[in-house]
Structure 1
Amino acid sequence: MSRFLKSILPKARKPALPEELLVAERRVPLEVREHPTARRITMRMTPGGGGVRLTIPRRTARATVLDFLERHRGWVEERLGPAPQLVCDGARLPFRGGALLVVHDPARRLTRLDPPPQEGGDWRLHVGGEPAHTARRVADALKREARRDLEAAVERYATQLGLRPRSISLKDTTSRWGSCTADQRLSFSWRIVMAPPFVLDYLVAHEMAHLREMNHGPGFWSLCRELCPGMDAGRAWLRTEGSGLHAVRFSAG
């Protein structure tokens, strides 16, 4: 073929990389990102352990990427988090160390949260409206409960410390459960309300301790333990079980 024909004919499209992997009979989302300074392929699990993220050098051959994925399939399977759970009528979600059953009643106007009828039973969250809005209504209810629990814990520790934050905000972060800014503003992931209460207590103690110690030095950990003597259990739970709270999906995306 002449050089002229090559210049005017449309270029063959390079086959795209897959957008998901089949691992342990689950379809796992795959993100592939080229990075100008990357010298080798690196792989990480996305927050919550529900997906895979690859960083690759520019112009890495498709076959090289596919071979890398196949060789590391076992690595992904070992680190794969819980299967995503989409919130809908009948869903059973983690909540305050127990479980919360979502009950959708189209005729209901106000959301109502009922405590377990007996020890070890499920909380029940009754929501109304269109089924398409169920997940959003559940998320709104959890945020309200999270704020109630977090503000109560902040007040307890503020009394112990003699210090209060300037503000408290709720977010849906995946990289951290809480933060404290230099101007003493606290932020928490509202999903912490799905964890056992001792975990929430540790998280609040951790961030409140930063009001006095803006570091993670020995003084900080000593103060954190003084505020929350059972901090080790809460810290361990977040490390081993926390990713499961991100598996609860409040949208299909």
Structure 2
Amino acid sequence: MTATGRPPSIPFSALPDHLQLPDVLIPLEWRRSSRARRLSIRLSRSSDSVIITLPATTPAEAGLKLLRTHTGWVEKQLQRRPAPVRLVDGGYVPLDGQPHRIRHVPQSRGGAWLAGEELHVSGDATFLARRVGDFLHELGKERLRIRLMQQVTRTDLRPTHIAVRDTTSRWGSCSATGRIMLSWRLVMAPLAVQDYVILHELCHLRHHNHGTAFWKEVERVCPGYRTAEEWLSQHGSALMRAG
């Protein structure tokens, strides 16, 4: 006990790194944020870990209490989330929302390439997932840049720079200087969803926030954006966890 009669505070470093559920052990990620106004708990987009974020001055005990009171919620969310896209021989990977079967052709050369509705991959099976991932990354750079420029022409909203990267925390971003970044994983989503994310970021060139004026602009240039957001809510984690 401390001098006040209260138990000593738990050091942040002593918080548990796993949550034991009935059938599985779930990794935990504890974060402090000077910008967070309240405690929050969510599933990671890129893995099956749980992220608990605490404001800078919130004691670690509060985060632990939040986790304990939301264990049932965590379990339900994990059960509801879709299985990740598996980059394995015989598996299916979506491109523009359309499934393409991954076919290992070890006797061939050329890395990975599209053949109709199949994605062929040569070489040793050990490197299949990496080759598929590299191929999708490059395909995303090519297709998403073209898609973005089409929307730039249509809306006359012009970024200062375009980048397509391997990110798993967000689908896109727009900096204060007008630099737009997209995740290559977006190439797996349906075209309407790709367009929504692109237009969402382009609208930030006029409104660098998520206020009323911003969403009015989004609705003007992308009337079906709510349907696209719902698709990402239901299926996005499967693409973010592809591997």
**TM bracket (short chain):** 0.7 to 0.9
Counterpart residue identity of residue 203, structure 1? V
The residue aligned with 2:155 is 161
Shift of 1:131: 1.7
Alignment of 1:29-40 (within 5 A): 29-31=27-29
CA distance in structure 2 between the aligned counterparts of 1:235 and 1:34, rounded to whole angstroms: 28
**Is 1:131 paired with 2:125?**
yes
The residue aligned with 2:99 is 99
CA distance in structure 2 between the aligned counterparts of 1:228 and 1:69, rounded to whole angstroms: 38
Contact 2:82 2:234 in 1 (8 A): no
Helix, strand or coil for the counterpart of 2:93?
Answer: strand
Contact 1:49 1:82 in 2 (8 A): no
Helix, strand or coil for the counterpart of 1:248?
Answer: coil
The residue aligned with 2:82 is 82
The residue aligned with 2:240 is 246
**Is 1:113 paired with 2:114?**
yes
TM-score (norm 1): 0.72
CA distance in structure 1 between the aligned counterparts of 2:206 and 2:87, rounded to whole angstroms: 39
Helix, strand or coil for the counterpart of 2:152?
Answer: helix
Specify which of 49, 52, 58 is matched with residue 51 of structure 1: 49
CA distance in structure 1 between the aligned counterparts of 2:59 and 2:219, rounded to whole angstroms: 47
Contact 1:225 1:231 in 2 (8 A): yes
**Is 1:188 paired with 2:188?**
no
CA distance in structure 2 between the aligned counterparts of 1:33 and 1:210, rounded to whole angstroms: 27
CA distance in structure 1 between the aligned counterparts of 2:41 and 2:157, rounded to whole angstroms: 42
TM-score (norm 2): 0.74
Contact 1:184 1:211 in 2 (8 A): yes
With over 3 angstroms needed to count, the CA separation of the structure-2 counterparts of 1:17 and 1:205, relative to structure 1, is closer
The residue aligned with 2:3 is none
Shift of 1:172: 2.6
**Is 1:140 paired with 2:155?**
no
Contact 1:47 1:175 in 2 (8 A): yes
Contact 1:43 1:52 in 2 (8 A): yes
**Is 1:151 paired with 2:128?**
no
Shift of 1:206: 0.8
Unpaired segments ≥5 residues, structure 1: 1-15, 36-40, 117-123
Shift of 1:205: 0.8
Helix, strand or coil for the counterpart of 1:87?
Answer: coil
With over 3 angstroms needed to count, the CA separation of the structure-2 counterparts of 1:24 and 1:82, relative to structure 1, is farther
Shift of 1:159: 1.4
CA RMSD of aligned residues (A): 3.2
Query: Sequence identity of aligned pairs in percent?
Result: 39
With over 3 angstroms needed to count, the CA separation of the structure-2 counterparts of 1:84 and 1:112, relative to structure 1, is closer
- Between the two proteins, the alignment pairs up a number of residues equal to 220
Find the structure with the greater CA-based Rg. Answer: 1
